């Protein structure tokens, strides 16, 4: 049992720890619009399974969701097409390569290694693009995050489309291998727009809470995602969600997490809480450098490691 005041003290300590490493990272300069972010911003929000909310820092600042949208797209694809169909098109193994690599796809495999790297996410987007509009995807994100203000950031979208030659190269390689059969330009545009959705740390924490509660929305009691999908998605987040740093991160924190180069982190502690973090200073692997540091701290302090058997509950 832990008092609310102690949780807040832990979060304040976590923010201080995170801020201590911000200077070692940098913003995502390869997308010009993202390069405008203030690297010193940092915020964390927790939504707990017993209905409590804890936050500190820049939790209301909006930023683009980027690769965290891959989790939502995977959820929607699994719910629409089923696991067998989806995983016939994309694998579930860690790639050991950078998130935008195409080397392993070209040389070692006839399908992307997993849905959390760009080649896998573009493949998932190609499955969705002929069944859903980007407005449908936007509404899905609004529903799972309980935020009607989620929308495409047009400035970021245009900036990404002007610099997405590598993603187009990945998509054309997928097309050449007959992994995708939809229009390449349509698939890349859909993928880029879903990455350009504007969210905040609270939105990510709310989506994390939905996953932590087995796909049932805490506020309404309505099931939005099946238990099977929640289990599969969290497993892939744990093993592949932090790109080629996933193994080290999982060993340290034991928290299924997905990062985005906009500075977001989505974390899920089963039957405990959802966590949303914003910090645009990134490490060399493209993950929020402060968020990774502070998650290591709160994992231990709040007993959030997936294999930690200690009880965790807030005392009113």
**Which residues are documented as binding site?**
67, 118, 160, 167, 191, 243, 261
Name the pairing type of β-strands 43-48 and 2-3: unpaired
Catalytic residues: 67, 70, 191, 243, 261
**What's the token pair of residue 111?**
């399908």
Q: Identify whether the C-beta of residue 258 lies closer than 8 Å to the C-beta of residue 266.
A: yes
Bridge partners (DSSP) of residue 197 are 152
**What's the token pair of residue 270?**
């089963």
Q: Identify whether the C-beta of residue 164 lies closer than 8 Å to the C-beta of residue 172.
A: no
Binding region for substrate: 67, 118, 160, 167, 191, 243, 261
Q: Identify whether the C-beta of residue 277 lies closer than 8 Å to the C-beta of residue 283.
A: no
């Amino acid at each position: 049992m832990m008092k609310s005041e102690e949780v807040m003290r832990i979060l304040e300590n976590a923010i201080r720890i995170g801020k201590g490493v911000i200077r070692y990272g940098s913003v995502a300069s390869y997308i010009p619009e993202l390069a405008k972010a203030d690297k010193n911003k940092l915020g964390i929000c927790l939504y707990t399974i017993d209905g409590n909310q804890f936050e500190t820092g820049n939790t209301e600042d909006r930023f683009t969701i980027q690769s965290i949208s891959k989790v939502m797209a995977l959820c929607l694809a699994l719910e629409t097409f089923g696991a067998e169909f989806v995983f016939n098109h994309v694998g579930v193994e860690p790639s050991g390569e950078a998130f935008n690599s195409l080397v392993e796809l070209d040389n070692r495999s006839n399908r992307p290694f997993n849905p959390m790297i760009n080649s896998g996410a573009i493949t998932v987007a190609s499955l969705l693009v002929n069944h859903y509009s980007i407005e449908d995807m936007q509404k899905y994100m609004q529903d799972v995050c309980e935020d009607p203000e989620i929308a495409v950031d047009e400035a970021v979208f245009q900036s990404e489309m002007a610099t997405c030659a590598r993603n187009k190269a990945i998509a054309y390689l997928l097309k050449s291998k007959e992994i995708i059969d939809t229009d390449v330009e349509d698939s890349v545009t859909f993928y880029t727009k879903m990455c350009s959705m504007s969210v905040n740390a609270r939105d990510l924490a709310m989506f994390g809470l939905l996953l932590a509660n087995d796909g049932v929305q805490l506020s309404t009691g309505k099931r939005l995602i099946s238990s099977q999908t929640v289990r599969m998605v969290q497993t892939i987040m744990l093993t592949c969600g932090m790109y080629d740093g996933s193994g080290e991160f999982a060993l340290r924190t034991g928290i299924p997490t997905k990062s985005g180069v906009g500075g977001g982190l989505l974390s899920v502690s089963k039957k405990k809480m959802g966590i949303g973090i914003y910090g645009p200073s990134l490490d060399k692997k493209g993950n929020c450098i402060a968020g990774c540091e502070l998650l290591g701290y709160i994992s231990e302090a709040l007993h959030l490691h997936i294999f930690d058997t200690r009880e965790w509950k807030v005392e009113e």
